[in-house]
Amino acid sequence: MQSGKILRQRYKIIQSLGSGGFGDTYLAEDLDLPGEPKCVVKHLKPKSSDPEVLAIAQRLFEREAETLYKLGKDSDQIPKLFAHFQEGTEFYLVQEYIEGQDISKELTPGKKLSESYTINLLKGILEALEIAHQNNIIHRDIKPKNLMRRKSDKKVVLIDFGAVKEITVLTTNQPGTTTLTVPVGTPGYMPNEQRNGNPTLSSDIYAVGILGIKALTGQDPRSFSRNKNTGNIIWRNEAQVSDRLANILDKMALDNFRDRYQNAMEVLESLEETTPVPPPIPPIPSGNRPRYRREILIAMSGFAAAILTRDLWNRFIEKETDPSVQLTKTSIQKFETVTVNAKGETISRSQHQAEVIIENLGNGVTLEMVKIPAGRFLMGSPDKEAGRYDNEGPQHYVDVPEFFMGKYPITQVQWQAVMGNNPSKFEGENHPVETVNWYKATEFCQKVSQITGKNYRLPSESQWEYACRAGTTTPFYFGETITTELANYNGSEIYASAPKGINRGKTTNVDKFPPNAFGLYDMHGNVWEWCADEWHDNYTGAPTDGSAWLDGNKNRSPLRGGSWSNYPFLCRSAIRLYYNRRVDHGYDFGFRIVCDDGRTL
């Protein structure tokens, strides 16, 4: 296509970005949007004009466009699909333009890169690929040219999924059957089973493994010799690499696809063991610790109140005051809760009050911590609860000691004050911070502990669910359902008999919706919240004392509460999701923190 051509009276071609056997790619402008932002147009043209082939190509195109749309929506490391259309016998995709350069600029021939670079590269690719593999989608053409290093955040973005290219190589070989004229993929990165037309998820793993070997050796993957007995490539003598990483790469690039890692998630778990966990930040030495004298006010929740006297508090708090440190404030805060029926109709409103400690994080930024009273609750969901997963059982009683919990998820302004940056996609001071992995959330807790002299950490799963339910046993603390007037979630689906709502498509201010009976906000929706526990597939053998469960999968931790992007059944009080602790690409992953009591460290 010539520069200046306009497709659909909207997409103006600027220049060619590349051309090959599977189609052409162009840089374009979207004339309908303010500022005429850049986009990428992919032009796909079947080689055969046979009506039967075109009909199959059309069905394949629609299916793959739907896949690309979902992947782009679920991951910021896969370009978003803006449009797809057909003109005559030709097909077009319009996708997000990724400003940056492809990885081939980093993998220059003859240059051997470090092990730490290679590990980071592998993780970047696999974290992008993880979303596809979770949806059972094979990329089919992973190679340096299809991996972009985005300029804005240096993340790896996975482009040019191979399945949609099949429409360009379809042909007929006998009446009623079609076949591919050539396999989709690139020599050197394409394993045997893919070359034979039978790709699997582990075919992508092979390609990523070859990329890692190329980074370490500086050699073209087609130049490696192979073991005559196994068919596996021989490469270790060309690189300086630890046995641990070499073993992982060997398994990724095995000739027999059944013996490889089967998906991106498995490789990521193995790679976690190659990177040491940052050591915890040490407690403040007692000689440098802030020393306070404070009075505690009245602790009340609903029908009960308990007065902590000055003497009781002084058992935990040092009596001398450092005039250079601003005292932590306390207050009694009043609020209103809402209860709805299965139709989402408000059936009652109640007045409550809670004790709140207000910590000073510096620069005028504060952290509000709500006192959660001790109590017993039934954890998990009943068998007949709509949307229930098996990992939410068996139900069991847990006795939870008193603790303090963040009134809101950690906000971007709080994160900025403590960590000095803002990783969030949806910017807003009082929006929850997102795109945060478990280790970064834990590091935040450690730094807040240093600032305040108290022990802050992520909540246990039982603390989180106890605090979320706030005395309720219904699917939501609002009652039998939720509506988009009560929480931020994807309202295009319903729960129980509630009406459909809106899908905001992003996070919202943390104080936008009503709290629960403990005075906590946003426990349903907005962002998933990390917990301290290691992942277990169900509650068999779970602690009953409110503590974190730490003898499970050490690479995974639970997230609770659902997010802005999820349907309401994924925002229930009992819902559990797990993710790799190092994954931070999810722009709906956030957290809130807890403190076991008012004591100093």
pLDDT-derived band at 168 (thresholds 50, 70, 90) equals low
- As a whole number, the mean pLDDT across the chain is 86
**Fold matches, 6-96 and 374-600:** no
Q: What is the DSSP letter of 525?
A: B
Q: Is the peptide bond before 394 cis (omega within 30 degrees of 0)?
A: yes
- Among 44-58, 114-128, 351-365, the range scoring the smallest mean pLDDT is 44-58
The Cα angle at residue 420 between residues 419 and 422, in degrees rounded to 5: 90
Question: What pLDDT shows up at residue 58?
Answer: 80
Token readout for 104 is 């081939």
- The angle subtended at Cα 335 by Cα 334 and Cα 337, nearest 5°, is 150
Question: Could you tell me which residues are beta bridge partners of residue 332?
Answer: 355
Q: 């001071």: which residue's tokens?
A: 429
Q: What's residue 292's pLDDT?
A: 32
Highest-confidence segment of 30-44, 161-175, 261-275: 30-44
User: What pLDDT score was predicted for residue 583?
Assistant: 76
CATH among 3.90.1580.10, 3.30.429.10, 3.40.50.720, 1.10.260.40 for 374-600: 3.90.1580.10
Residue 94 β-bridge partners: 41, 83
Number of CB atoms found within 10 A of residue 24's CB: 15
Question: Would you kindly state where each structural domain of the chain is located, as residue ranges?
Answer: 6-96, 101-272, 374-600
Q: Per the structure block, which two tokens stand in for 451?
A: 């600032």
Helix (H, G, I), strand (E, B), or coil: what is residue 13?
Answer: strand
CA 233 to chain centroid: 34
How high is the pLDDT of residue 504? 94
In this structure, are residues 481 and 340 in contact, taking their beta carbons and an 8 Å threshold?
yes
Q: Is the pLDDT of residue 308 over 50?
A: no
Model confidence at 295: pLDDT above 60: no
Report the pLDDT value the prediction gives residue 411, as an integer from 0 to 100.
98
Closest CA to 168 of 86, 48, 85, 51: 48
Among 130-144, 294-308, 346-360, 400-414, the range scoring the smallest mean pLDDT is: 294-308
Q: Is the pLDDT of residue 599 over 60?
A: no
* Predicted local confidence at residue 163, as pLDDT: 60
Q: Using the predicted structure, report yes or no on whether residue 46 has a pLDDT greater than 80.
A: no
Q: Which of 181-185, 378-382, 457-461 has the lowest mean pLDDT?
A: 181-185
pLDDT recorded at residue 55: 78
- What CATH superfamily classification does 101-272 receive? Transferase(Phosphotransferase) domain 1 (1.10.510.10)
Q: How far apart are CA 509 and CA 529, in angstroms?
A: 16
Q: Rounded to two decimals, what is the model's pTM?
A: 0.54
Q: Is residue 251 scored above 60 in pLDDT? A: yes
pLDDT tens readout for residues 79-107: 999 999 988 888 899 999 999 999 999 99
- Cβ atoms of 268 and 123 within 8 Å: the answer is yes
Alpha-carbon torsion (64, 101, 191, 22), positive or negative:
positive
CATH number of 6-96: 3.30.200.20
pLDDT for 22 equals: 61
The answer, yes or no, to whether residue 289 has pLDDT greater than 70, is no
Residue 33 makes CB contacts below 8 A (sequence gap 6+) with none
Tally helices (H) and strands (E) across the chain: 10, 25
pLDDT at 329: 83
Strand extents, DSSP E, 31-169: 38-44, 81-87, 90-96, 100-102, 147-150, 156-158
Q: Which residue type is seen at 406?
A: G
20-29, 95-104, 194-203, range with the lowest pLDDT = 20-29
Token pair belonging to 105: 């600029």
Answer yes or no: 141 catalytic: yes
pLDDT of 273: 63
Question: Which pLDDT does position 148 carry in this prediction?
Answer: 95
Q: Cβ–Cβ contacts within 10 Å for residue 428, how many?
A: 16
Instruction: Determine the average pLDDT of the residues in 447-461.
Output: 94
The mean pLDDT value for 158-164 works out to 78
pLDDT value, residue 21: 55
Among residues of the chain, what percentage have pLDDT more than 70?
A: 85
Residue tagged active-site, from 30, 141, 160, 522: 141
Please choose, from the candidates 355, 291, 356, 351, the residue with its C-alpha nearest in 3D space to the C-alpha of residue 319: 291
